[in-house]
Amino acid sequence: MRGNILPLVFAAVLMSALTAYGHHSLSATYYPEKEVKLEGKILDLLLRNPHSFLQIEAPDESGVMQRWSLEWRSSGQLGQQGIKRDTLKVGDEVVITMNPSRTPADHRGALKTLHRKSDGFGWGTNPGETIE
């Protein structure tokens, strides 16, 4: 009986190690110490696991309009925080802050805060905190 369990234990340990290896650290992809603010319009919202993505169109540092891909929390976490499929709409004007990609030409970032201009809806700030 004991000899039959060892292969199962080994397989479980191996699968756990592979799963952990496959998940990346956000600080390996983005600069956690840098913060960039963008003003733009929502192009798409992809709620999924393990990370959701918000696509916006906003100018880069040269003023050229770019499509930015902002990595966000999982759909389950966002749902618990009140973000549903109909919370944000294509065309909504937003102000976001993000940690930029370590590869600037990618136009990507890790989303930190979001504020919708039309009604002041916000995500990612502490109560009473505002973004100017």
Q: Which of 99, 87, 80 is nearest to 36 (CA)?
A: 99
Query: Could you give the CA distance from residue 30 to residue 100 in angstroms, rounded to a whole number?
Result: 5
50: preceding bond cis by omega (within 30 degrees):
yes
The yes-or-no verdict on residue 88 having pLDDT over 50 is yes
H or E stretch covering 78: helix 75-80
The yes-or-no verdict on residue 19 having pLDDT over 90 is no
What SS3 state is found at 82? coil
* Confidence class for position 28, pLDDT limits 50, 70, 90: confident
pTM of whole model > 0.85? no
For the chain, the domains span: 2-123
Which listed CATH number (2.40.50.140, 3.10.310.50, 3.40.50.300, 2.120.10.30) goes with 2-123? 2.40.50.140
The yes-or-no verdict on residue 102 having pLDDT over 50 is yes
pLDDT tens digits, 44-66: 999 999 999 999 999 988 999 99
Query: Could you give the CA distance from residue 64 to residue 2 in angstroms, rounded to a whole number?
Result: 65
The yes-or-no verdict on residue 81 having pLDDT over 70 is yes
* Confidence class for position 11, pLDDT limits 50, 70, 90: low
